[in-house]
Amino acid sequence: TYDRAAHRRLLVKPGLTGLWQVSGRSNLDPRAAMRLDVAYVENWTIAGDLVILAKTARAMVAAEGAR
């Protein structure tokens, strides 16, 4: 039983990383993660994807937000 926001979130295929993963990951509550994913879907750009990839590399090295 997904709400409207969750349906928007499902408009893109899952990938290797995402905006919520590099914006706090397990430190975010589920609603915040949903908002970030919906914002990504509604504001997608290639430049935005490149920023997310760069932040992913940094997060992997620093292990930030992981539990």
For residue 32, the enclosing domain spans 4-62
Residue 67 CB-density burial (10 A; 0-12 exposed, 13-18 middle, 19+ buried): exposed
What's the rounded Cα separation, in Å, for the pair 37 and 39?
5
Structurally, the chain folds into a number of domains equal to 1
Does residue 67 form part of some domain?
no
pLDDT tens series, the chain, 67 aa: 678 878 888 888 877 778 888 887 778 888 888 889 889 888 999 999 999 999 888 888 876 655 5
Which residue type occupies 16?
A: L
Q: What is the pLDDT of residue 54?
A: 92
Q: Output DSSP code: residue 64.
A: T
At 65 the pLDDT is 57
Check the CA dihedral 44-49-50-51 and report its sign: positive
Q: What is the pLDDT of residue 14?
A: 79
